[in-house]
Structure 1
Amino acid sequence: MSRFVRVSMVLATGLLAGLGVVMFHYALQVLRYVLMHLLGISRLVSIAQTVSLGGSRLFLLPVVIFLGFAISKFVATKSGISHRRERGADRIIEVVNGEEVALPMAEAMGTAVAGVVALGLGVSGGPEGPIAMLVGGPIVNLLSRFGIEERQLRILVAAGVGSALATLFRAPLAGVFLAGELFVLEGFLGAVVLPGLLVAAITWFVGSTLIGNSPLIGHLSLGRLQPEAYLSAIVLGLGAGLVGLGYRWWVVVVGTRLTHLSRSRVLWWLAVAVVVSAITSALALVVPEVLSTGSGWIRLVAAFGSDMTAFPLWLLLATPLARLVLTGLSLSAEAPVGVLGPALIIGAFSGAALWRLSTLVHLSATFGGASLFALLMFAAVFGSIGRVPLSMVVIAIEATGALAAAPLVMVSVGIAVFMVRQRGMTIFGSQALPGQSPIMPT
């Protein structure tokens, strides 16, 4: 293959990934507008206030959420993905690590459309599942037409999906690290670095130009960090590891069993979908963040900082718990949503809740404030259960600009990953050991 063709393939991968992010963003915006219009509310989640959800037609909320499940189920059935166990990001990992690089366009687009519709109509979940298929499907099907070498195609799929997810999290450099870590356990795919840098740059340019480049969280001013903060990082790392293990158990073990139940008969699926819609609606009345991707409240950490003492303790405790429970239930009703996005919110609010509890025992401020606690668990929960530690250190820094906190983030993420690693667990069953990955040179 000529150098010109290789460069063209890298350029095409970046463009496809960037356009996938843009399509996902605007499709979700349109559906959220429809949801708010149907419910008669002005906004789903506000970073300036934490009042209960209010609207003139809130009684329609369970109906709309059930409609999201129903449309998602219909699309999944028609596109042939209803029988698949792996969907979204895990399915892309399976494609990259499989014997052959094959992903039917109907399956990819069906998963993407079903996931976007579900999220847009209020179903609780993460965005990375639909966007991974929205980007990975076109890359596999379009680039394979040009006779590209199979190993090179795997590298470009990994680089494209990693860059798209990083752009979604407003952390362009993390695209290279996600491409290298997301597809393997216990290692890093060095072969993706060079094409990953170029693909990430192109993806970020396209995405930031068309949808903006505001940071995911916003600038955090943490001030001068004292040595005692390292003790906090250790404790929060242990806590994040436990949260990650619990999240994985609920999503993979319990969620899988409930999914098998809902797939056995239509009436069982109907019962599961109705129950999940009712639970989501009830929780949303007091914790609106559980609707859709719910990333709006994650900026509360930056917006309020130490002023989070004004937040009810029950709210800080209920938000991560509700998010954890509903993500597993949404998957059990066969909505192909992501699982890593909720981990960010679960981590951030778990950290804020632990800080709030520390204030009750008058823990010295030198151990860190609310923003630091939230940031450390934000990175550690996601990094541990997804087995992407380097990526989360980079995302945490890029999303906040808190370079001074980098060593503390590294400590928390490292401890949390060690705990999950000792149990041999990951939330993605298709990840391979580096030596078993087809991307690694033979």
Structure 2
Amino acid sequence: MLRFLGLVMLGAIIGAVAALLAVGFVAVVLWLNDLLLISPRSRMMVESPGVLVVATLAVPALGGLVVGLLHRGIPEQRPHTPADVIAAVQTRRGRLPARAGGLSAVSAMVSLGAGASVGQYGPLVHLGATLGSQVARLLRLGRSNDNVTIACGVAAAIATAFNAPLAGILFAHEVVLRHYALRAFAPVAAAALVGHVIATGVLERGALFHVADPALPAPWEFAVFLAIGGVGALLAGAYLHAILGVGRLSQALPVAPALRPALAGALLGLAALWVPDILGIGQETLRFATIFGAYGSGELVVVLLLKLAATALCLGMGFSGGVFSPALVIGTLFGALCGSLVSELTGAPLETFVFYAVCGMVAVTAPVIGAPLTSLLIVFELTGSYALTTAALASVTLASPIAAQLFGRSLFDIQLRQRGLDLSAGRGRALLRNSPVCDHLTRDCVALDPVTRVAEAIGRLSQADHGEGHLVDRRGRYLGCVTLAELEAAREGGDGREAVGRLPLRQRPTLSPDASLWEAMQLLQEVTGEAIAVVDNADGERFLGVVYEASITRAYLRRSDEMRREEHENG
């Protein structure tokens, strides 16, 4: 009980620190936006059009250059994102490097401050997770508790950023932990609550946007909300694939990786001369998109398409930032466009216009982050409107399943799959795929030279109490496997002086040194015997040793038991 209470207290402390870091991060970004003439308010105060043009062109490009240089200090040469947080938790590595986390946070701060069309919530999530990981490392906590402290940092960051503690709790469980163990719930809830209290009560941070009490939608409008969800799923898929496509294209460009963000910044600045709404986080654009008549239908189409293209350009070319904030803007613009079209078709002002904007918002954002429940809770906590949340539920009902079937659970999962970590089959397979089989490699086996006599081989196997031997020539190459029963049969058919290498050898599948425990488990379905040979094919089929079936089975059961205890223990 004391250890559990200590973990809850630790969660509250992490929540407090994460909230202060999140608020400081956002304050620095806003200060940079004003200083560098990126924010709409600062741009309105500039009297010289020439200064504004120069700032629009130069600031994103120079910001991209700084970002590219910062990324050279990260081993992967890229900023770390929530996908790295999910990978650390789901594979039970549970360690997020402080250096990479710090540089990624600074890189995101520069990206957002210089007007890149990226989001702030992804960097805040990673920053909170890195804090939780460092605290766990400092206190030398175990892997399960490490994952809980990471989730605490994530929950506090979301609760602070959105003024939505319930959404923070759910996001940490739904996206990061992917289980709802009671032992994790209390610390995560404490972190989210403390973060929310600090953000609202102490630092007096306001909500993302405010919605007055709207008129209730007619029953037929819920059918439109469902349709918005279906089309929104396709828009979310286009958004995801645009980011991934630009990323692949950037790899083929004859431009050094450190210079790609600068190139993206220059192109962004050119587009922003025409439509400045695409610069930065886009909170003002989001707020105006919820107001009927603030944008015409044509303007909504232009800003939506350019915002989507600008975000794909910035993220794909190496700017550091999140995908959630741009998805909020893109989704709200899409919903507002749907509301405008309905108004034009009906020929009457749309009193429920904000419902369309919010439905479009969740229809795009929920598939992008793979968190439909979190998206709904954000709507409810931001607006306090049950009617708006119910309408958003209608959109999510179609948006998330359609997007998951067509594109994948989320952008994070797609990115991890491209890195070799497939979470589509659940945590169990992901954990086994990231457990190297070489951890269970041993040379405690009978290795036979091909010239060894049958009788001698039988004696060696009997003395070692093994049922099979592995033939390895004098150059260390693996030739095959022979069982004790096969040797006995050969001795009965001759005098036992025949060389083992002359026998018909059993050709079994082998494992490579970088194989995973999951691959070994799959191979056991094809192999009958006591062990599987591990062979380095890159080094002339050099025999490294064997992995016993019993070791593979024990490791699988141990991993399964660890997950079971992590997900079902109460404290």
TM over 0.5: yes
Structure 2 CA distance for partners of 1:441 and 1:40, relative to 1, 3 Å: closer
Query: Which of residues 235, 239, 242 is equivalent to 1:247?
Result: 239
Q: Distance in 2 between matches of 1:230 and 1:370?
A: 13
For the Cα contact (< 8 Å) 1:385–1:427, is it kept in 2?
Answer: yes
Task: Summarize the alignment of residues 246-285 of structure 1 with structure 2, pairs less than 5 Å apart.
Answer: 246-252=238-244, 254-261=245-252, 265-266=255-256, 270=259, 272-285=260-273
Supply the distance in 1 between the matched residues of 2:358 and 2:95 (Cα, whole angstroms): 38
Q: Is the 8 A contact 2:118 2:321 kept in 1?
A: yes
5 Å matches for 1:5-404?
Answer: 5-36=6-37, 42-43=41-42, 56-82=51-77, 84=78, 87-183=80-176, 188-191=179-182, 192-252=184-244, 254-261=245-252, 265-266=255-256, 270=259, 272-302=260-290, 304=291, 306-308=292-294, 311-362=295-346, 369-404=352-387
* Deviation at residue 90 of structure 1 after TM alignment: 1.3
Deviation at 1:40, TM superposition (A): 11
Distance across 2 between alignment mates of 1:93 and 1:259: 25
Identity fraction in percent: 22
CA–CA separation in structure 1 for the residues paired with 2:309 and 2:8: 45
**Superposed displacement of residue 370, structure 1:** 2.1
Q: Is the 8 A contact 1:250 1:325 kept in 2?
A: yes
Q: Which residue of 2 aligns with 1:50?
A: none
Mark the CA change 1:153 to 1:370 in structure 2 (over 3 Å): closer, same or farther: same
Q: Larger % of strand: which?
A: 2
Any conservation in 1 of the 2:130–2:153 contact (CA below 8 Å)? Answer: no
TM-score by length of 1: 0.87
2:489 aligned residue: none
Which digits, 9 at most, give the CA deviation of each residue in 1:275-297, with x for residues without a partner? 42233123323432211111122
More helix by share: 1
Aligned equivalents of 1:70, 1:355: Cα separation in 2: 40
Q: Secondary structure at the match of 1:334?
A: coil
Correspondence for 2:391: 408
Please state how far the C-alpha of 1:399 moved relative to its aligned partner.
1.5
Tell me, yes or no, if the aligned pair for 2:11 and 2:152 is still in contact at 8 Å. no
Does the 8 Å contact 2:64/2:263 carry over to 1? no
- Is the CA contact (8 Å cut-off) linking 1:434 and 1:440 kept in structure 2? no
1:190, CA displacement in angstroms? 4.1
3-state SS of 1:216 partner: coil
Shift in Å, 1:45 = 8.8
TM-score normalised per structure 2: 0.68
Structure-2 change in CA distance of 1:259 and 1:163 (3 Å): farther
Cα distance, 1:258–1:128 mapped onto 2, change above 3 Å: farther
Q: Deviations over 1:86-134 (max 9, x none)?
A: 7221111112222411111110000000111011011110112321232
> Do the aligned residues in 2 keep the contact of 1:220 with 1:371 (CA within 8 Å)?
no
* Other-structure match for 1:420: 403
Residue 49 of structure 1 corresponds to which residue in structure 2?
A: none
Shift of 1:74: 0.9
The separation in 2 between residues aligned to 1:123 and 1:132, in whole angstroms, is 18
* Stretches of structure 2 lacking an aligned partner (at least 5 in a row): 417-421, 432-562
